[in-house]
């Protein structure tokens, strides 16, 4: 068994490239990217929610682009489109499971694109989890602050946007055969 196989890194026809093409992945830098992206997404979401709650809650919607795009504060105890409002605790558990799964994947994270995608997911999950834990009524049942209201669509927030962008990037990376450990599969 080769040293790479013992370390758990794929070899041969399965692994055609490593992150950066240097032959040996750089794990610390990729985890740092994940954490920086997650912190940026989280702080942007938190700051936007603090602002809109302080300035826009209990006011008429603010038209950004006529009626096509408005800012309107909505407390959402469910998932997208307000589905499952009686299942707030379940969504809290799901967000926590996503965070734990990302932490497990991060141990073997050598791919920069995967670090960005997982960072977006992590920041978004923490953003909405913060609302569920600390906003009224609290205790895993808080309402998530949504405020971006496009016409004929669900009201959402920046955490939701980060989650969707991260998920979309993961789908693209998966279709292209890039794994979180930096290997590329040709099949």
Among candidate residues 45, 131, 146, 179, the one labeled active-site is 146
Is residue 160 flagged as an active site residue? Answer: yes
Identify the pLDDT of residue 80: 65
Instruction: Give the domain extent around 43.
Output: 25-176
Could you tell me what percentage of the chain is helix, strand and coil, using 3-state DSSP and rounding each to the nearest 5? Answer: 55, 10, 35
How many domains is the chain built from? 1
In a domain, 4, yes or no: no
Query: How large is the C-alpha radius of gyration of the chain?
Result: 19
Among candidate residues 160, 179, 181, 187, the one labeled active-site is 160
In a domain, 60, yes or no: yes
In a domain, 186, yes or no: no
In a domain, 117, yes or no: yes
How far is Cα 82 from Cα 25, in angstroms, rounded to an integer? 42
In a domain, 187, yes or no: no
pLDDT tens-digit map of 105-163: 998 999 999 999 999 999 999 999 999 899 988 777 788 999 999 999 999 999 999 99
Percent of the chain surpassing pLDDT 90: 61
How far is Cα 136 from Cα 132, in angstroms, rounded to an integer? 8
Closest CA to 125 of 166, 85, 155, 87: 166
In a domain, 150, yes or no: yes
pLDDT at 103 over 50: yes
- Give the pTM: 0.81
Return phi, psi of residue 10, to 5°.
Answer: -65, 150
Is residue 45 flagged as an active site residue? Answer: no
In a domain, 9, yes or no: no
pLDDT at 11 over 60: no
How far is Cα 156 from Cα 46, in angstroms, rounded to an integer? 13
């Amino acid at each position: 068994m080769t040293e790479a196989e013992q370390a758990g890194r794929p070899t041969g026809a399965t692994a055609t490239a490593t992150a950066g093409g240097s032959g040996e992945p750089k794990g610390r830098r990729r985890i740092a990217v994940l954490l920086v992206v997650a912190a940026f997404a989280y702080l942007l979401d938190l700051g936007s929610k603090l602002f809109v709650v302080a300035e826009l809650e209990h006011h008429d919607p603010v038209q950004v682009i006529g009626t096509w795009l408005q800012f309107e504060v909505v407390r959402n105890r469910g998932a997208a489109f307000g589905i499952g409002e009686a299942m707030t605790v379940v969504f809290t558990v799901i967000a926590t499971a996503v965070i734990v799964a990302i932490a497990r994947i991060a141990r073997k994270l050598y791919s920069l694109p995967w670090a960005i995608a997982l960072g977006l997911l992590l920041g978004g999950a923490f953003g909405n989890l913060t609302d569920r834990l600390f906003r009224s009524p609290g205790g895993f049942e808080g309402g998530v602050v949504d405020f971006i209201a496009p016409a004929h669509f669900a009201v959402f927030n920046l955490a939701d946007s980060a989650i969707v962008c991260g998920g979309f990037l993961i789908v693209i990376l998966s279709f292209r055969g890039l794994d979180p450990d930096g290997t590329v599969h040709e099949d």
